[in-house]
Amino acid sequence: MSKSKIITLRVSDDELSELRKRADAQGVSMSDLLKHSALANDGLSTLDKQRIYTHLNIIKDSAQQIVRDYEDVHSSRIIKEADDLWQSLN
């Protein structure tokens, strides 16, 4: 898809500073940050969902390790809750 259109956006100095910080923190350009945020269907950008998915998998892996090592039944609930949360975001 050809990207040939330019839009103009007015922001204050503080807003510009905040946008730059957020783009830098996420490792994306300001253009990508604004596009992903504006086009997010449910208020979460694709980048947000990728980060959430990564963290949920870390939580699930830790809970699965606890279940394996200690046979802890409560950790199984954490795994289910993480799966349910991910489903609610999709």
pLDDT of residue 41: 65
26-50 confidence digits (pLDDT tens): 898 999 888 887 776 666 777 778 8
Any idea which residue has 């699930």 for tokens? Answer: 60
pLDDT of residue 10 exceeding 80, the answer is yes
Residue-averaged pLDDT of the chain = 85
Supply the DSSP symbol for 28.
S
pLDDT of residue 19: 92
pLDDT of residue 54 exceeding 80, the answer is yes
Alpha carbons 79 and 64: distance in angstroms, whole number:
7
46-55 long-range CB contacts below 8 Å, 24 or more apart? 49/89, 52/86, 52/89, 53/86
